[in-house]
Amino acid sequence: MLEPSPQIIARTQQLRKQLQEAGYAYYVLDAPIMEDAIYDQLYRELQDIETQYPALRVADSPTQRVGDKPASQFTSVKHNIPLYSLENAFNIEELKKWQERWQRQIEKLDPFAYVCELKIDGSALALTYEDGILVRGTTRGDGITGEEITQNVKTIRSIPLRLNLENPPPRVEVRGEAFLGLEVFERINREREKAGEALFANPRNAAAGTLRQLDSRIVAQRHLDFFAYTLHIPSLAEQRASEESVETGLMASIQSQDSGNTHSQWDALESLQKMGFKVNPNRKLCPSLQEVAEYYDYWDTKRRQLPYLTDGVVVKLNAFGLQKQLGFTQKFPRWAIALKYPAEEAPTLVESITVQVGRTGALTPVAELKPVQLAGTTVSRATLHNRDRISELNLHIGDTVIVRKAGEIIPEVVRVLPNLRPPDAQPFQMPTHCPVCGSEVVREPGEAVTRCINASCDAIVRGSLIHWASRDALDINGLGEKLVSQMVDKGLVHSVADLYDLTLEQLLSLERMGQKLAEKLISAIAQSKTQPWHRVLYGLGIRHIGSVNAQTLAQQFPNVEQLSAASAAKIEGIYGIGPEIAQAVAQWFQVPANQTLIERLKAVGLQLAATASTSSPTTGQLTGKTFVITGTLPTLKRDEAKALIQNAGGKVTSSISAKTDYLVVGAEAGSKLEKAEKFGITQLNESQLLELLQIS
Q: How many CB atoms lie within 10 A of CB 242?
A: 26
561 is in an annotated binding site: no
From CA 612, how far away is CA 623, in angstroms rounded?
18
Q: Is residue 302 flagged as an active site residue?
A: no
The 3-state secondary structure of 393-443, one letter per residue: HCCEECCEEEEEEECCCEEEEEEECHHHCCCCCEECCCCCECCCCCCEEEC
434 is in an annotated binding site: yes
What is the residue-wise DSSP string for 327-364? Answer: -B-SSSBTTEEEEEPPPPEEEEEEEEEEEEE-TT-EEE
39 is in an annotated binding site: yes
Q: How many CB atoms lie within 10 A of CB 125?
A: 25
Q: What are the distances in angstroms from CA 14 to CA 98, 321, 398, 610?
A: 49, 63, 14, 67
140 is in an annotated binding site: yes
177 is in an annotated binding site: yes
Amino acid occupying residue 273: Q
**Dihedral sign of CA atoms 256, 258, 261, 262 in order:** positive
From CA 380, how far away is CA 411, in angstroms rounded?
9
642 is in an annotated binding site: no
Q: Is residue 660 within 8 Å of residue 627, measured between CB atoms?
A: yes
Amino acid occupying residue 547: S
501 is in an annotated binding site: no
36 is in an annotated binding site: yes
Write the burial class of residue 25 (CB in 10 Å: 0-12 exposed, 13-18 middle, 19+ buried): middle
457 is in an annotated binding site: yes
Alpha helices in 28-133 (DSSP H): 36-52, 92-104
Amino acid occupying residue 462: R
451 is in an annotated binding site: no
From CA 313, how far away is CA 120, in angstroms rounded?
9
381 is in an annotated binding site: no
* Nearest one of 408, 319, 354 to 114, comparing CA atoms: 319
Q: How many CB atoms lie within 10 A of CB 59?
A: 6
235 φ/ψ sector (left φ>0, alpha ψ -120 to 50, else beta): beta
291 is in an annotated binding site: no
40 is in an annotated binding site: yes
* Nearest one of 335, 380, 265 to 105, comparing CA atoms: 335
The 3-state secondary structure of 111-138, one letter per residue: CCCEEEEEEECCEEEEEEEECCEEEEEE
Annotated catalytic residue, options 97, 119, 324, 520:
119
Residue 146: its H or E element: strand 145-148
Q: Is residue 256 within 8 Å of residue 234, measured between CB atoms?
A: yes
* Nearest one of 518, 488, 513, 517 to 503, comparing CA atoms: 518
* Nearest one of 171, 163, 156 to 227, comparing CA atoms: 156
DSSP class of residue 313 equals E
Q: Is residue 472 within 8 Å of residue 550, measured between CB atoms?
A: no
From CA 460, how far away is CA 495, in angstroms rounded?
10
95 is in an annotated binding site: no
The number of residues making up the chain comes to: 696
Residue numbering of the annotated binding site for NAD(+): 36-40, 85-86, 117, 140, 177, 316, 340
Annotation: binding site: 36-40, 85-86, 117, 140, 177, 316, 340, 434, 437, 452, 457
Binding site for Zn(2+), residues?
434, 437, 452, 457
Q: Give the active site residues.
A: 119
